[in-house]
Structure 1
């Protein structure tokens, strides 16, 4: 599947131009569906190097993406020592961006680490500490990092991201800025830049009205300022449950109702710097982390898709992430 995103710039309408980013879905669901947990690969279309946005499913995700011909536009390196999936992981994935330490966002990286290549892990400091305390501790898993319990195998270099401080991403032409999100474990949003183009990836997050921390408002304010001179190509954001989920059981997640509440706040901020009432109209937003369920009843994906369409008063084009999917923005 290939989609092209509407461009969003707060100051002035911008005519569509050629795509800037490629996004490949390695895992689309949150929770229990092992083999299909939150993970995406992102690259600038001007280069052959990806970054991994979360890492719930890595090797299985690459295998499914290969089956769907998602790497058709990648000039895959010739490496006689490794199969194609190994070459992609070892040579073309240049770093992990871990939004938070829950297993459905980290398990693929942990499991694949023995045959992975050396590369950085980028995260907020608290996220790195969670992974050192919980996984890379020589009990749950060997310490493949350059910190924590010895011996340190030093395959992964832990790079701390400080909120609102932009950092160049090694071995790519991309920059990243991270901000904190509300979740039982501190989570993060990653704002990826290539020139004047932005791609935004949200880890797990609850709505501000429930979490009472104002963290999404801070993200919308930051993005609104950035979009005075830059262009939002796309964003990935979670919707874990349908609207029937009570607020006290959200556990730091969004529903279609709460996502639209947040996006309307973002739209209002953007509207203050443009003559449009709905500056987000035409923007495409990738929906991730829909919780897979073993219970009988309607498919959560179908229910959430319908609820998003019914509540969509902004003209947004929603795309439900699907494992193996390739998108250009």
Structure 2
């Protein structure tokens, strides 16, 4: 669901009435996965039930933070000579700015308005802005809270704020005290909250959050929760293939390092041998809840599809989300889709492309359809096959849990408007775009040769194995209830698109076309958008 648009004009009473129908405002500071350092992942989220006040905004990831705020303010400040006063347009509409320049006002927003920073995982494109910006806190009145899973905090503490890569600006181990760590309980803290809010903790004024672990790929490094330390056990990025180019090899330090979570169960290879050296790269999905309305959004960090994962975890997120979608309380999902469908599975490196994101959303849709069934009929068939489709099935059909061949790249979407930020009508109005920014160039097709490293093939559990319909619902399955699509009213915002810095259409255009085409074909009912840097979204 998206709120009604706010025009670039003086604030009038009806503007506040429009925003009252939205529970959240999300400001997109960075929407790419690199390589430009000024547009990597960073979002600001606030509840519309609160005014712009101290601690009323939470940042989710901080690859881009201060630079994104400055850019947005510069674009929307009415006067270059004096930026003081009430913002009358743009994502920061209604915020009273105390200073003359965009730089000074951005510093004020960072110190005073942003109450906490939620970090999904400690890769630099989600963290670098925080490190560089943190010295500004010294002019404030207290430390900045950095909240994340324990493995993420451990990585930040040991490998960034460690007096080597960056000064220890934390309040632990004799640091400067500009940052204070909040270690979140995975899956939510059951000691907090009541009813639907059970497990949620305070994120900032008006917002609560719960963090669920997801997988961002595999690596030969491990996090040991008992010691709170990380240990190398092999190459950090590429598998040790004999055909690997010497220039791509990485020196290995067998001391304490890394950012990865332990493997809870060893992987079984196609030969039956245990691959115990692989570990799962831990990332996060933040459920963010408005304390007044109970509405929610989900913001994902980097994430890989369950179908190729060493340790599938997405299904648990969809199980939590499905009843919220069914009830209408979950309004939007911010999730990565780094590449278009030209990417090969072996080159995803812990990311999504349209075919895999659609497959994940089919899992969510199936669980939503189940949640919408009367309690007495749950667990029965929720979808039906087309007879014509079923007749065409053969014994050689690929299992839902198996890797599929490089897919056909869909053509142009059936939608007339393929622009990344097409306004749409959702639960209570029209989505508002309050900013502008640059998009990226379309990526070339990736060509693989004998030097391309590859990971072990996922295990085929078989069509009759446990969870055989997860994470991919087969293409020929239709939703039984044709009167309402299972994800109708849900908005999906695509972030972390990989930029190629090449001439041609932005890569987000192709990704969006593929998502809309495949989403329509699957009958999901959700809307897809690619927000721009500096854009404000009312949800």
TM-score by length of 1: 0.89
Query: Structure 2: how far apart are the matches of 1:297 and 1:62?
Result: 28
Match of 2:342 in 1: 244
The answer on whether the counterparts of 1:288 and 1:321 sit within 8 Å (CA) in structure 2 is: yes
User: Within the alignment, does 1:136 sit opposite 2:125 as a pair?
Assistant: no
Give structure 2 stretches of 5+ with no counterpart.
Answer: 5-19, 77-88, 189-198, 218-280, 374-480
Give structure 1 stretches of 5+ with no counterpart.
Answer: 6-16
- Compared with structure 1, are the counterparts of its residues 73 and 294 closer, same or farther at alpha carbon in structure 2 (3 Å cutoff)? closer
User: Within the alignment, does 1:84 sit opposite 2:87 as a pair?
Assistant: no
Query: Structure 1: how far apart are the matches of 2:26 and 2:203?
Result: 19
**Pick aligned residue for 1:292 from 492, 499, 505:** 499
Moved more, 307-316 or 78-87: 78-87
User: Within the alignment, does 1:64 sit opposite 2:71 as a pair?
Assistant: yes
Please state how far the C-alpha of 1:225 moved relative to its aligned partner: 3.9
**Pick aligned residue for 1:213 from 302, 311, 315:** 311
The answer on whether the counterparts of 1:64 and 1:323 sit within 8 Å (CA) in structure 2 is: no
Please state how far the C-alpha of 1:78 moved relative to its aligned partner: 3.5
Moved more, 187-196 or 288-297: 288-297
Please state how far the C-alpha of 1:3 moved relative to its aligned partner: 4.7
User: Within the alignment, does 1:104 sit opposite 2:125 as a pair?
Assistant: yes
User: Within the alignment, does 1:145 sit opposite 2:152 as a pair?
Assistant: no
- Compared with structure 1, are the counterparts of its residues 237 and 62 closer, same or farther at alpha carbon in structure 2 (3 Å cutoff)? same
User: Within the alignment, does 1:257 sit opposite 2:355 as a pair?
Assistant: yes
The answer on whether the counterparts of 2:63 and 2:125 sit within 8 Å (CA) in structure 1 is: yes
The answer on whether the counterparts of 2:58 and 2:204 sit within 8 Å (CA) in structure 1 is: no
1:139-178 matches, cutoff 5 A:
139-147=164-172, 150-165=173-188, 166-169=199-202, 171-178=204-211
1:106-121 matches, cutoff 5 A:
106-116=127-137, 117=140, 118-121=143-146
Please state how far the C-alpha of 1:315 moved relative to its aligned partner: 2.5
Query: Structure 2: how far apart are the matches of 1:31 and 1:125?
Result: 26
The answer on whether the counterparts of 2:135 and 2:178 sit within 8 Å (CA) in structure 1 is: no
C-alpha RMSD over aligned residues: 2.2
User: Within the alignment, does 1:31 sit opposite 2:34 as a pair?
Assistant: yes
Please state how far the C-alpha of 1:250 moved relative to its aligned partner: 0.7
The answer on whether the counterparts of 1:76 and 1:88 sit within 8 Å (CA) in structure 2 is: no
3-state DSSP class of the match of 2:174?
coil
The answer on whether the counterparts of 1:51 and 1:97 sit within 8 Å (CA) in structure 2 is: yes
Match of 1:198 in 2: 296
**Pick aligned residue for 1:51 from 43, 52, 58:** 58
Match of 1:13 in 2: none
The answer on whether the counterparts of 1:41 and 1:52 sit within 8 Å (CA) in structure 2 is: yes
Q: Which one has a bigger Cα radius of gyration? A: 2
**Pick aligned residue for 1:187 from 283, 287, 294:** 283
Please state how far the C-alpha of 1:170 moved relative to its aligned partner: 5.4
Moved more, 271-280 or 283-292: 271-280
Query: Structure 1: how far apart are the matches of 2:151 and 2:170?
Result: 15
- Compared with structure 1, are the counterparts of its residues 289 and 171 closer, same or farther at alpha carbon in structure 2 (3 Å cutoff)? closer
Please state how far the C-alpha of 1:59 moved relative to its aligned partner: 1.2
3-state DSSP class of the match of 1:204?
coil
Cα deviation 1:268-309 (Å, max 9, x = unaligned): 100112265522123211100000113556532121111112
3-state DSSP class of the match of 1:292?
coil
TM-score by length of 2: 0.55
The higher-RCO structure (CA 8 Å, 6+ apart) is 1
Match of 1:14 in 2: none
The answer on whether the counterparts of 1:29 and 1:38 sit within 8 Å (CA) in structure 2 is: yes
